[in-house]
Amino acid sequence: MSSSFKKLYFSLTTEALSFAKTPSSKKSALIKLANVRAAEKVEEKSFGSSNVMQVIYTDDAGRPQTAYLQCKVRGEELVLWE
């Protein structure tokens, strides 16, 4: 099974969660924190990894979206995002 995860670098501020292809590149997209409806850990069996979380948000048109993040952290650090 191939993975559809792409390596991206995230930045969290008080206003948004943004991401880019490299740490120094321009941010390619962002999720406004005001639009986030939930952030939660995903069950390990869903992706075969214990370090996956989902961010459920609405886009600028008000449509529901889900972003899955596979984090390179220890499991207990992932819980801090919830």
Q: For strand 52-58 and strand 16-20, is the pairing parallel, antiparallel, or unpaired? A: unpaired
pLDDT tens digits, one per residue of 11-53: 889 999 998 888 888 888 889 999 999 999 888 888 887 788 8
Terminal CA-to-CA distance of the chain, rounded, Å? 28
For residues 16, 17, 22 and 28, what is the CA-based torsion angle, rounded to 10 degrees? -70
Could you tell me if residue 4 is inside a domain? Answer: no
| Within-domain flag for 2 | no
pTM above 0.85, yes or no: no
Range of the structural domain that residue 34 is part of: 9-79
Structural domain count, the chain: 1
Has residue 51 been placed in a domain? yes
Q: What pLDDT is stored for residue 3 in this prediction?
A: 60
Q: With respect to residue 3, please indicate whether it lies within any of the assigned structural domains.
A: no
What is the per-residue pLDDT across 53-76, written as a single tens digit (0 to 9) for each?
899 999 999 999 999 888 776 556
